[in-house]
């Protein structure tokens, strides 16, 4: 299972329509992803560059666990809903 943790600067990115996450790979390297608002109430998972800029949409074949966003903004609610719907 891959565990995604909220990036320490996630609050800085909420205004840019994304919530940033990080995880480590098998080489102990930090990888950055974001859940980004795509359309109103739609969210997509993107891989990000090391400076947090979204790069391309991704999906995982293994189980991924995302930390929920402790916020009540429209974006946080959409992201948390996406997390609930995509947890398997």
Instruction: State residue 18's pLDDT score.
Output: 85
Work out the pLDDT band at 15, boundaries 50, 70, 90.
low
Instruction: State residue 48's pLDDT score.
Output: 93
Measure the CA–CA gap between 20 and 32, rounded to whole angstroms: 7
Instruction: State residue 40's pLDDT score.
Output: 72
Token pair belonging to 11: 């609050």
Quick check: 88 pLDDT over 90?
Answer: no
Quick check: 30 pLDDT over 70?
Answer: yes
Token pair belonging to 77: 């609610």
| CB-facing half-sphere around the CA of 26: CA atoms within 13 A | 1
Measure the CA–CA gap between 68 and 79, rounded to whole angstroms: 8
Average pLDDT of the residues of the chain: 87
């Amino acid at each position: 299972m891959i565990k995604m943790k909220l990036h320490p600067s996630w609050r800085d990115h909420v205004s840019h329509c994304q919530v940033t996450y990080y995880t480590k790979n098998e080489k102990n390297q930090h990888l950055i992803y974001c859940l980004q608002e795509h359309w109103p109430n739609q969210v997509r998972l993107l891989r990000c560059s090391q400076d947090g800029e979204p790069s391309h949409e991704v999906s995982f074949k293994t189980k991924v666990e995302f930390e929920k966003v402790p916020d009540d903004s429209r974006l946080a609610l959409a992201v948390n809903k996406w997390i609930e719907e995509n947890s398997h």
